[in-house]
Amino acid sequence: MKVVIGMSGGVDSSVAAIMLQKQGYEVIGLFMRNWDAGVNNDVLGNPTLNNNICPQEQDYNDALDVCKKLNIPLHRVDFVKEYWDYVFTYFLDELKKGRTPNPDIMCNKYIKFDMFVKEAKKLGADYIATGHYARIKDGKLLRALDDNKDQTYFLSQLSNEQLKNVLFPIGDLPKPEVRKIAEEYGLITAKKKDSTGICFIGERNFKQFLKNYLPNIPGEIVDIDTNKVLGKHIGLMYYTIGQRKGLDIGGATDKLFVVGKDLDKNILYVAYGEDNEYLISTSCIIDTINWISDKKPNNCTAKFRYRQKDNDVTLEYLDNGEILVKYDGVKAVTPGQACVLYDGEEVLGGGIIKEVRKNDTKLWYL
């Protein structure tokens, strides 16, 4: 059987390809170019590698090196326009609304498990594979065994159809074992740093990067308790709920946290203390609902952010198709982020946080 695997130039996809070979599949690599890495490079001061080769090209060279070592053909495909249309435009639109989007989730939905699949089928794929830390068993999407690396949060908007004929070869492996296997095979990616930053755009000076696409409108930072102006912010889009670092407030002696935004008045609200009342909510409404499982329970667990611990929740299904998610006090639940629902190991599905509430009342500052 033929498997087309997304080769990113990282250690996870490299070892995923090895695991597929061990299982007897015919493996073909496919590298996706989803961002024009040369755009605004001088303005952004992006890091360069190996004689001014941009990071994306370095990733391709690393993927090529791995594929040669494993005797796997590597194809390359350009999804720059599709990524802009379906992922980056969404990212900018959400920021304009004062929300905190998660572009990686939409990248999986529209690029990695849609455009990529269509391209893989052209190459004769029976299956597609990625280096995600996740598992599929009996048609169910399950968490990875390495809970610290589990990436099912980012797969929560995929449909059952998209998950058909998908393999996650490293979902049963802990990260240290993945690196050990890469070292045993002498792969160039064995000790390569994990990628961070926006999906496919990578690590950048985020403030300078966004200036190229959205106007930078400074405004006041206000103490939500006293209504006192404490300083100036550089633009609401640069801040998220619960953030502490990056607040330019002279003379502040206690910990200040971002708790809200007023788009009309261009005010960033802050409060003192990581356990302040403004960060705590007891329910939220989610839309853009996607079910992976056939189960639609009244009680389950949820994550409101990646790496967050599971929270016990009660679901109330609204007539308009949205869901009211109720929970005991949870900190920094943020509009625009994903709420992902779980039943033990199984990923049930999820939605996007539309509104945050406390005691059945919408929080006015969010």
Nearest of 26, 84, 37, 83 to residue 60 by alpha carbon = 37
Position 244, amino acid: R
Q: pLDDT value at position 42? A: 40
CATH classification of the domain holding 254: 2.30.30.280
Residue ending a domain, among 206, 224, 239, is 206
Residue ending a domain, among 272, 293, 309, is 272
Quote the percentage of the chain above a pLDDT of 90: 81
* Domain match, 63 and 33 both: yes
- Structural domain count, the chain: 3
CATH classification of the domain holding 354: 2.40.30.10
* Domain match, 73 and 26 both: yes
Note down the domain range covering 161: 2-206
Local structure of 6: helix, strand or coil: strand
Q: CA separation (Å) from 317 to 285, 289, 333?
A: 10, 11, 19
CATH classification of the domain holding 191: 3.40.50.620
* Domain match, 24 and 171 both: yes
Token pair 């004929």 is found at 165
| Tens of pLDDT, residues 160-191 | 999 999 999 999 999 999 999 999 999 999 99
* Domain match, 23 and 166 both: yes
* Domain match, 186 and 225 both: no
pLDDT band for 215, please (50, 70, 90 cuts). Answer: confident
Give the per-residue SS3 of 239-301: CCCCCCCCCCCCCCCCCEEEEEEECCCCEEEEEECCCCHHHEEEEEEEEEEEECCCCCCCEEE
Residue ending a domain, among 206, 226, 244, is 206
* Domain match, 181 and 228 both: no
pLDDT band for 45, please (50, 70, 90 cuts). Answer: very low
pLDDT at residue 327 tops 90: yes
For the chain, the average pLDDT equals 91
Containing H/E element for 44?
Answer: helix 41-44
* Domain match, 251 and 325 both: no
Local structure of 181: helix, strand or coil: helix
Does residue 54 have an active-site annotation?
no
* Domain match, 168 and 31 both: yes
Rounded Cα–Cα distance for residues 244 and 230 (Å): 14
Rounded Cα–Cα distance for residues 247 and 95 (Å): 18
* Domain match, 307 and 168 both: no
Among residues 54, 67, 199, 284, the one annotated as catalytic is 199
DSSP summary character for residue 152: G
What average pLDDT does range 315-335 have in this prediction? 97
| Tens of pLDDT, residues 125-152 | 999 999 999 999 999 999 999 999 999 9
Among residues 107, 284, 300, 339, the one annotated as catalytic is 107
Paired tokens of 279? 């960060």
* Domain match, 57 and 187 both: yes
Does residue 339 have an active-site annotation?
no
pTM metric for this prediction: 0.91
| Tens of pLDDT, residues 217-265 | 999 999 999 999 999 999 999 999 999 887 877 766 568 999 999 999 9
Rounded Cα–Cα distance for residues 296 and 318 (Å): 13
